Structure 1
Amino acid sequence: MTAFAEERRADRAADAEQRRIDAAAVDARRIEREKAADERASRLNEQRQTDRVRAREAQARTRAERRAARGEALTPGNVYRKGTLALVTASALGSLPAQVLHFVGISPMLLPLPLAIEGAAWVMAAGVAYADERHLPGWVRWFLRLLVLAAAGFAASINYTYGLHLPGLSAPDRQAAGIGLAAVTLLGPVLFEIRQWVTTLSADTNSPEERARRRHERKRRRQHRSIAQLADRFVSAAPFGQLDFEEAFAHAWEIETGTSTPGMTPRLHQRAARSTAALAQAQRSAVGDSTGRGLFGRLFRRQTESSPIQNPNQDESPQSITNRLGSDLQESAPETPPAGTEPPTPESADPAPAVAPEPVAGPVAEVEPVKSAEPPVLRPVAAVESGPRRATGRVPQSARTPRPTRTPDELLTEARSATADWPDEKLTAEAIRKAVRTSSANGRLLRDALKAERAERAVSEAQAA
């Protein structure tokens, strides 16, 4: 009994476990089905929302396109063109029946006559538009306009006569009917011609650059008539399309005026030369003569007055003077004059500078002053020391080797000959100073004088040319 009971309990437990597993599986399948349904519903909702957004965007695009189309259709140009065509159509519909009734009342055989008259007016009006499109000569357009006016005027006179003879109307009404029919007959061709004229002008003047170009062309032809005519002759003589008008005009300008610069003439070149000469004259501040001596002399005097200590012919720097001390110190005092002579008096002897000579290194020959009627003569005496000596200080004026003094005119002559073949860019104060061996101040003065001479020479050559 015990084993059987245990087996039954085990079977019942197994059945319960199986039922629990089956229930869990059923619940899992139900959850999966619900989850799939929820996902499917979510996708459907998203799709419906996307479709609604796309539909709204499509409607917005359609409305925008319609607004753009209405805006393009309702522009002033389109309204004017389409409105003119509508008025022209109404004019034709108002004038043609009166002409048909008038000619048919005379004879049914005259039925094609009003169609021919009205059609001639419109065909000639279309011919004016074609002439504008093909850029035909102006006389063609005006001839076609005369034909339009003739056909429209004849039709207007017929309609006016027909209106005056309408039965059953009073005299003022018949007058008004005649004038109205004549006006509507002329209104269509006139409006069409005005429309074509406005369209042509708007097409030609639509670009500001094009308008400016035409104004420039008219002004150039008006102000330079002979040159423009010569350029037209060049263009007509060359093969078609081979020569541009601008090139022909430049060539004609060079032939007429002798210069390739646009706008320049011989008279303008003379004015430019006179202006250059006046500018050079103002810069030179009235040069004394053609050699430039007056200018250099004034510059030299101004420079020396501003610095009176400056030696005009101080051709060497202090360093070069120091290098010359060795040769300068080899000169000694004057030789001893013969015995029995008296020393020179202050009136007969040359005045000596008041600067005391500085001592120099090395012994020199001892000199005694003696009486003599002649001025002392300086003779060099060899120094005792054999080796080179260095400078011990500033050499006094009496101990220096005298150098010839050059006048400003001599300096200018030397500078002019030394720089005769120099270009203008090489004409500097330092180069001139080295060439003529002078001071920096004199080099600047010489540079200014030489540049003034070259400017005057260029002005003279320009005036002569």
Structure 2
Amino acid sequence: MSTYSEDRRADRAADAEQRRIDRAAADERRAERERVADERAARLREQERAERDRTRRARAAARAVRRAARGEALTAGNVYRKGTLALVTASALGSLPAQVLHFVAISPTLLPLPLAIEGAAWVMAAGVAYADERGLPVWVRWLLRSLVVAAAGFAASINYTYGTHLPGLSASDARTAGIGLAAVTLLGPLLFEVRQWVTTLSVKTGSAEDKAMRRHDRKRRRQHRSIALVADRLVSAAPFGALSFEDAFARAWEIETGTDEPGMTPMLHLRAARSVAALAAAQRPAEPARHRSGGWLRRRRPITLPAAESVDTSSNRSTADLGESAPRPVVLPAPVVVDVVKAIEAPRVRAVAAESPRPRRATGRVPAAARSKRPIRTADQLLDEARKATKGWPAADLTAEAIRKAVHTSPAKARVLRDTLRAERSAAPAKAA
């Protein structure tokens, strides 16, 4: 008995467990179906949202395109061109019917005449525009303009006559109608000619950048005439289109000034070297020197250029050695080191521009008897004067510039004296030993 009851209880428990499992499986399947449905709905909503965004962006882009098109269409140039064409069309529509009615009233066979007269005026006006576009001679344009004036004037006279003879109008109204028809006949060609004139001027003027380029070119040609002339010759000598004016101008600048940097000249390079040397000398601390009264003063050392910048400058040279009549390059010999044991021989120095007499102002010709001759010192005399002038100088102060100012000689001879004095001072301790 107990076995049967236990089996039934076990069967009922198994059935309950199976029902629970089935319910759990059904719930899981329902949850899966709901999840899939939610995902599908979410995808559909996302697609709809993306479609709405795409449609919104497309509409915004279309509005932007229409706005840009309206902005381009409503510019001053477009309004002027299209407005002029509209007025020209209205002028033609106002003048042509009166001419047609005038000639048809005379005879129907005269119908082609108003078309020919009005058409001749507009064709000649178009010819003026074509001549401006092709750059034809001026007389061709004025010939076409005279034909336009003749055809338009003849049509205006016909319209004036027709307007003054309109039936049912008073004398003042008829005269007003005639003047209006004549004015509208002349207005069309006049507006078209003004439009073509303004268009030609705007093409020639160009943009603000073109104006700036033309202004720069005029200024450059005015300030550098010789270089611009050489550049023009280089361009004309080269094949057509092979050499641009900018390249030719750079080449001409190098030919005329010797430097490939535009704007720089030998004088500007010289001024730059002087400025660098002066700045270096100003930044160098000065050596203190005792004053005779017992106080302390700062001794200013002479400004000397470095070896690479020591050039023959006319502004630092003495008055007796300054020569401006022969601005040719100076070729100087190498420094000569003289032995103090041997006899000092004068070094051979080529004639330079510094030895030429100083030019006088144009105050009249001075007689030969009244001219004073400048004494020419020999190399021995210059060396003696340099020894006396630099007797108490330290070796660091023996520079070509200081010696040149002390004995008033040229830079080339000053460098020779500097090397000689340095050689003597370096040889004196060895000789004493």
Equivalence for 1:111 = 111
In the aligned structure 1, how far is the partner of 2:57 from the partner of 2:36? 31
Partner of 1:398: none
Indicate conservation of the 8 Å contact 2:386/2:417, yes or no: no
Q: What residue is the counterpart of 1:90 in the other structure?
A: 90
**What does residue 144 of structure 2 align with?**
144
**Equivalents in 2 of 1:245, 1:37: separation in Å?**
74
Structure 1 counterpart SS, 2:169? coil
Q: CA deviation at 1:428?
A: 5.9
Q: Which piece of structure 1 moves more, 33-42 or 5-14? A: 5-14
- Kept after mapping to 1: 8 A contact 2:164/2:175: yes
Within 5 Å, which residues of 2 pair with 1:50-449?
Answer: 50-208=50-208, 210-211=210-211, 241=240, 261=256, 280=314, 283-286=317-320, 289=374, 291=376, 310=391, 427=415, 430-434=418-422, 437=424
How many Å separate the matches in 1 of 2:65 and 2:192? 31
Opposite residue 374 of structure 2, the aligned amino acid is D
**Identical amino acids, percent of aligned pairs:** 60
Higher RCO, 1 vs 2 (CA within 8 Å, ≥6 residues apart)? 1
Partners of 2:413 and 2:194 in 1: CA distance: 70
Superposed displacement of residue 433, structure 1 = 2.1
Residue aligned with 1:284, SS? coil
Structure 1 residue 432: Cα displacement: 3.7
Q: How far 1:2 moved relative to its partner? A: 2.4
How far off its partner does 1:188 sit? 0.6
Residue 431 of structure 2 aligns with which residue?
Answer: none
Q: Please tell me the root mean square deviation across aligned C-alpha atoms, in Å.
A: 4.5
Identify if the C-alpha distance between structure 1 residues 16 and 283 changes in structure 2 by more than 3 Å, giving closer, same or farther.
same
TM-score scaled to structure 1, two decimals? 0.54
- Counterpart of 2:279 in structure 1 is none
1:380-433 per-residue CA deviation (whole Å, 9 max, x = no partner) reads xxxxxxxxxxxxxxxxxxxxxxxxxxxx9xxx9xx99xxxxxx95993653242
- Whole-Å separation in 2 of the counterparts to 1:302 and 1:97: 113
TM-score under structure 2 length normalisation: 0.58
Inter-CA distance 132–12: structure 2 relative to 1 (3 Å threshold): same
Q: 1:169 to 1:240 in 2, by over 3 A?
A: farther
Contact kept, 8 Å, 2:95 with 2:181, in 1: the verdict is yes
Equivalence for 2:310: none
Give me the whole-angstrom Cα distance separating, in 1, the residues matched to 2:375 and 2:117: 91
Distance 1:31 1:243 in 2: 83
What is the rounded CA distance, in whole Å, between the counterparts of 2:209 and 2:376 in structure 1? 57
Instruction: Specify the alignment match of 1:36 in structure 2.
Output: 36
TM-superposition CA deviations, 1:154-189 (whole Å, max 9, x none): 111111111111111111111111111111111111
2: CA distance between counterparts of 1:218 and 1:145? 37
Question: After superposition, what is the alpha-carbon deviation per residue over 1:266-322, rounded to whole angstroms, capped at 9, x for unaligned?
Answer: xxxxxx9xxxxxx959942346826268xx98x959985xx9xx479x9x99xxxxx
Residues in 2 aligned to 1:11 and 1:438: alpha-carbon distance in whole angstroms: 134
Q: Name the CA shift for 1:39/1:171 in 2 (closer, same or farther; >3 Å).
A: same
Please, which runs of 5 or more residues in structure 1 have no aligned partner? 254-259, 263-271, 273-278, 318-407, 417-422, 440-465
Q: Give the partner amino acid of 1:25.
A: A
Q: Which runs of 5+ in 2 are unaligned?
A: 258-266, 268-312, 322-372, 397-402, 427-433
**Is 2:21 the counterpart of 1:21?**
yes
Number of equivalenced pairs:
298
Distance 2:23 2:244 in 1: 103
Change (3 A) 1:19 1:116: same
Shift of the 206–12 alpha-carbon distance from structure 1 to 2, 3 Å rule, reads same
Partners of 1:120 and 1:5 in 2: CA distance: 126
The whole-number CA distance in structure 1 between the counterparts of 2:209 and 2:150 is 39
Distance 1:427 1:38, change over 3 A: same
Give SS of 1:289's match. Answer: coil
Runs (4+) off by over 6 Å: 217-221, 242-247
State the distance in 2 between where 1:433 and 1:301 align: 8
Q: CA deviation at 1:82?
A: 0.4
In the TM superposition, residue 24 of structure 1 has moved relative to its aligned partner by 0.9
CA contact (8 A) 2:164 2:174 kept: yes
CA distance 1:219–1:188, change in 2 (3 Å): farther
Deviation at 1:10, TM superposition (A): 1.7
Distance 1:194 1:118 in 2: 18
Q: How big is each residue's C-alpha offset from its partner over 1:8-64, in whole Å with a ceiling of 9 and x where there is no partner?
A: 222211111111111111111111111111111111122221112122111111111
Q: Which residue of 2 aligns with 1:3?
A: 3
Structure 1 CA distance, aligned partners of 2:164 and 2:126? 31
Distance (whole Å) between structure 1 residues aligned to residue 386 and residue 416 of structure 2: 21
Mapped to 2, the partners of 1:243 and 1:9 lie a distance apart of 113
Q: 1:167 to 1:302 in 2, by over 3 A?
A: farther
Matching residue of 2:307: none
For residues 6 and 280 of structure 1, the distance between their equivalents in structure 2, rounded to whole angstroms, comes to: 136
> Secondary structure of the residue that 2:135 maps to in structure 1?
coil
CA 1:65/1:25 → structure 2, altered by over 3 Å: closer, same or farther? same
1:147/1:172 CA distance change after superposition, 3 Å: same
Pair 246,301 (structure 1): closer, same or farther in 2 beyond 3 Å? closer
Q: Match for residue 372 of structure 1? A: none
Change (3 A) 1:243 1:68: closer
Distance (whole Å) between structure 2 residues aligned to residue 106 and residue 41 of structure 1: 84
In the alignment, what sits opposite 1:327?
none
